[in-house]
Amino acid sequence: MFLKGAKGLLKKKETLKGDKMTVPKWAEGRVDYTKSKCIKCHLCVKHCPAVAIKVVKDKFIKVDHEMCIRCSVCTEVCPTKALVMKSE
């Protein structure tokens, strides 16, 4: 019984070995900010789960790309499409 279970585990490992690691589509891009479209509503700041968007001079925003986890939440909540995901 125990041996059967152990064999199953080994089989699964082999399967995983053959799988290719692929980067999901959503994680390929980078958040792009168009300041001229921004109405300073700060919805993006409130909703960013990684606290990667800061309010800067004149109440515009700045995305910290080191902190960004590329979840796209900001692009969804931005009412003017000032934030969009762009492929790198």
Residues of the shown chain interacting with ligand SF4 in the complex, contacts defined by CB under 6 A: 31, 38-44, 48, 50, 52-53, 61, 63, 68-74, 77-80, 82-83
CB of 70 to ligand SF4, least distance (A): 5
CB of 57 to ligand SF4, least distance (A): 13
DSSP per-residue codes, the chain? -HHHHHHHHHHHHHHHHHPPP---GGGTEEEEE-GGG-----HHHHH-TT--EEE-GGG-EEE-TTT-----HHHHH-TT--EEEEE-
Q: Which CB sits closer to ligand SF4, 5 or 49?
A: 49
CB of 24 to ligand SF4, least distance (A): 13
CB of 88 to ligand SF4, least distance (A): 13
Q: Which CB sits closer to ligand SF4, 6 or 39?
A: 39
Whole-angstrom CA distances from 22 to 26, 70, 81 are 12, 16, 28
